[in-house]
């Protein structure tokens, strides 16, 4: 059986993995520095910075260590199926909005203590 992976391919992949590992280390240092010394004026900005760093690190882990960068067709088909089912579930939620059980309190129909909601039936 012939070896399909050459030494050059191995070295190229090893360099990519080392670069991703170093990028993750730098991301971790930036995260700790932002937490320790980053005095952001609002909580929203603090959360936005933390999420931005986390998304970059998650992309690196998923894309390179989990080999998702090379499986685009499979990933996009799963993503399309997920988007379809998400849209279908949101449609069902919106479609059934008028069919709330009697006495149920929700944003559009607040119910006070001791009374039941009017359903219009």
Please give the angle made by the CA atoms of 17, 31 and 66, to the nearest 5 degrees.
30
Whether the Cβ atoms of residue 91 and residue 108 lie closer than 8 Å to each other:
no
DSSP code at position 62: I
d(CA 31, CA 56): 11
Backbone angles phi, psi at 109, to 5 degrees: -145, 75
**Alpha helix ranges (H) inside 61-115:** 72-95
pLDDT in tens, 61-101: 988 888 777 788 888 899 899 999 999 999 988 888 777 77
Q: Please state the domain extents for the chain.
A: 7-70, 72-121
DSSP string of 27-54, one letter each residue: HHHHHHHHHHH---SSHHHHHHHHHHHH
What is the pTM for the complete model shown? Answer: 0.55
- pLDDT, tens digit, for every residue of 19-70? 999 999 999 999 888 888 888 888 888 888 889 999 999 999 988 888 777 7
CA 114 – CA 121 distance, rounded (Å)? 20
């Amino acid at each position: 059986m012939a070896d399909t992976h050459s030494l050059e391919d191995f070295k190229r992949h090893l360099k990519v993995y080392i670069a991703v590992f170093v990028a993750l280390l730098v991301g971790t240092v930036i995260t700790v520095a932002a937490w320790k010394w980053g005095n952001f004026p609002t909580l929203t900005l603090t959360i936005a910075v933390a999420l931005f760093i986390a998304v970059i690190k998650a992309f690196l882990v998923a894309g390179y260590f989990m080999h998702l960068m090379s499986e685009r067709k499979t990933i996009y088909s799963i993503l399309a199926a997920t988007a379809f089912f998400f849209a279908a579930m949101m449609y069902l939620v919106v479609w059934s909005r008028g069919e709330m059980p009697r006495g149920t309190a929700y944003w559009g129909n607040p119910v006070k203590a001791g009374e039941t909601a009017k359903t219009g039936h």
